Structure 1
Amino acid sequence: MMMERFSWTRFQAILRKEFQQIIRDRPSIGLAIGMPVMLLLLFGYAVNTDVDHLPAVVWDQSMSQDSRAFISALRNSTYLDPDYHVRGYDEIGRYLDSADARVAVIIPPDYGKQVQGNGSATIQVLVDGSDPTAARAAMNAVQTVGFNAGWDVQAERLAAQGGEKPRLPVQVETRVWYNPDMKSAVFNVPGLIGLILQNVVAMLTAFSMVREKERGTMEQLVVTPIRPAELMLGKLLPFVFIGFVSLTMVLLIGIYWFEVPPKGSVVLLFFLSTLFLITILAVGLLVSTVAKTQLQAMQMTFLLILPSILLSGFVFPRETMPAFLQGLGGMLPLTYFLIIVRGIFLKGVGLQYLWKETLLLSGFAIGLFFLAAKKFRKNLD
């Protein structure tokens, strides 16, 4: 019955009015264009889990050729920059307290003698544990360098005695797929596409509807012959266009600026992004039906943004979260879109591997859109 009363003339009038209003609203245009670029550049550079070149302080009590070789090996690992040299624990404490150094490496006085002899040298490592990620990377780096140094010394000893070069009883060969260099940008940039689409589209949609309430123009539209479906679609379609503009912009920046090209189908990415856009538009519409002011709309939108960052798998693996938090994350559409966009970007997979997430995202899109449409219609009636 609703489709029989649907008037394309009234719909086009609302659509034209909404586009004109968006064009005249320069702050919204600036937000729609500038915010995706700013967020992608900001997160692309700031959200970096790669731990390299940590400042380190060294107390070399041996001052031998072997100790200098060990320090050089630390520097060559690129994990640590042993630029500071001290002569006691007091100086080490000052460097660690002031955060000028994150790691302290203490080489004992008999290091060279023990290495050249048949003894065992012990190197002490003090790590600033206030950042666990950096602390673990620093400890692993020093342990790896120490293991390699010990293995080289043992090989030299056997070679000097006329023996064969020793071999490890177990050797592990590792290969990294999809992101061989394990760069954070390769992982973060595809995820930012979903996060930026969600934030920009939901906020603009909610603000647009609430702005009509604050100005009193929504009541003027209600008393006209315009039907709820015509009004809703006429107001939402411009934001679909804005969403695709934002998607295209972040894709181009991700590909040409951060050099993270998609390995899969761009057409499939745009198609599945449409499902996600419908879902986020429905969320923005729901927010607008509840909020009475733009401040309330902004607060409600942020209630969606923060859990999406923490629970969707954007930064932290969902598998490591408690079951309760995994369940909460499963209620977020962004959770499934991140799997889709990273699968297309990093692995180059298609629907044969992403059908489950596509179905779940479709369920979110259909359910939320009809719920939002029902609520929107009820408010108008």
Structure 2
Amino acid sequence: MSTMALASLFSPGRLGAVLAKEFVQMRRDRITFAMMLVVPIVQLLLFGYAINNDPKGLPAAVLALGQDRYTRSVVAALEVSGYYRFAKRPESAAEAQSLMARGAISFLVTIPSDFGMRVERGDEPRILVEADATDPAASSNAVGALQTIASRALTRALGTEELKREQSESALSFVIHRRYNPEGITQYNIVPGLLGVILQMTMVMMTAMALTREIERGTMENLLAMPATPGEIMLGKVLPYLAVGSIQVAVVLSAAKLLFGVPFLGSLGLLLTSVTIFVLALVLLGYTISTMARTQLQAMQLTFFFFLPSLLLSGFMFPYAGMPLWAQWLGEIFPLTHFLRVVRAIMLKGADLGDIGLEVFYLSIFVPLYAGIALLRFRSTLD
């Protein structure tokens, strides 16, 4: 085959020109190029540092009705173990129950007033431990370590060999009460959370692609020519997706009740109000993303970039309390984190507005925040 024939089949010069063109295109598409670099780094950091299947430092409260040395020894041993962090010291049982209903604590350890006397008599000393079992994975290891931790502490606290022998005949026992999900059914935790995940995945992406689709098709010019303000255009774009979100909510809640038997203990009105706020925040977030993207591909990439850390840091896939403090602070900036607390508290705990009012308030902040950013970035003319 002649040299000219080979050149017609393959030319290093032509290949080099195509490669140069592609590198120039990649340099111009800064969002795609940044995604290729940032997403692997984010995944490594989150999975390497933030995710922990054996959560430690879980928020707990102790209701000690006695102040003897055995009580102090058991509480100290539980805290030193690393599983429990006694940040709350309620003064009454009612205050302790309110803390658990609000989700402020994961465990409530109640030590009776006659605990020390029972230890010295070898009369089956018992401690009540109430665990928030709405997330069984978060509490299982901590509950499993209770017996070993406290028994060793009690043995060290006994003063004489005779008392140690008496204690061996009547060991310390725990009464474990798994609140809100006594059977430890995983679906009770996952299915309400799926409501937030499904809404976030669909609402943000569909809304984000709505405006970029207008730009790609050239119909954005018609919208800009209309005597409509940026706020009116934004509302016209996002309100239809509230109707789509309501259909998804009805489907998920019906499936949760009929297929999975998830209990529904709270107010339906409070739940629907919270869902409406959450969906409105999501569609405004999607609209904000659409003001940053120039193509539907970029809109999808930005949506994925938001969705990944939100899913991992919200407490849906991994226990929120088991993450390091910096990861918990980062998780607070995502609407899904607050919505999961609200929906699980309403459905599984029967929480009222007094219990979850702060979380609903935090969720509401995202609505004006995203709306303001979207309006500031809205392009009144095409570039």
Q: Distance in 1 between matches of 2:380 and 2:281?
A: 20
Residue 283 of structure 1 corresponds to 285
Q: Which of residues 205, 226, 238 is equivalent to 1:236? A: 238
Contact 1:228 1:380 in 2 (8 A): no
For 1:191, give the aligned amino acid.
G
Q: Distance in 2 between matches of 1:376 and 1:241?
A: 24
Q: Deviations over 1:114-169 (max 9, x none)?
A: xxxxxxxxxxxxxxxxxxx9xx99xx8xx99xxxxxxxxxxxxxxxxxxxxx9642
What secondary structure sits across from 2:175 in the alignment? coil
Q: Distance in 2 between matches of 1:240 and 1:319?
A: 32
Q: Which of residues 251, 267, 270 is equivalent to 1:268? A: 270
5+ residue gaps in structure 1? 1-48, 50-132, 145-165
Q: Distance in 2 between matches of 1:379 and 1:179?
A: 55
Residue 372 of structure 2 corresponds to 370
Q: Which of residues 204, 214, 217 is equivalent to 1:215? A: 217
Q: Which of residues 173, 178, 182 is equivalent to 1:176? A: 178
Residue 327 of structure 1 corresponds to 329
For 1:274, give the aligned amino acid.
T
Q: Deviations over 1:61-100 (max 9, x none)?
A: xxxxxxxxxxxxxxxxxxxxxxxxxxxxxxxxxxxxxxxx
Shift in Å at residue 377 of structure 1?
Answer: 5.7
Give the length in aligned residue pairs. Answer: 224
What secondary structure sits across from 1:173 in the alignment? strand
Kindly indicate whether residue 308 of structure 2 is the aligned counterpart of residue 306 of structure 1: yes
What secondary structure sits across from 1:305 in the alignment? helix
TM-score normalised according to structure 2 size:
0.55
Q: Which of residues 193, 200, 204 is equivalent to 1:191? A: 193
Contact 1:285 1:376 in 2 (8 A): no
Shift in Å at residue 230 of structure 1?
Answer: 2.2
**Two-structure CA RMSD over aligned residues (Å):** 2.5
For 1:260, give the aligned amino acid.
V
Q: Closer, same or farther in 2 for the Cα pair 1:199/1:219, shift >3 Å?
A: same
Shift in Å at residue 224 of structure 1?
Answer: 2.1
What percentage of residue pairs aligned between the two structures are identical? Answer: 43
Contact 2:203 2:286 in 1 (8 A): yes
Pairs within 5 Å for 1:328-347: 328-347=330-349
Residue 251 of structure 1 corresponds to 253
Q: Distance in 2 between matches of 1:200 and 1:311?
A: 19
Shift in Å at residue 378 of structure 1?
Answer: 4.9
Contact 2:264 2:350 in 1 (8 A): yes
Q: Distance in 1 between matches of 2:292 and 2:248?
A: 26
Residue 158 of structure 2 corresponds to none
Contact 2:267 2:346 in 1 (8 A): yes
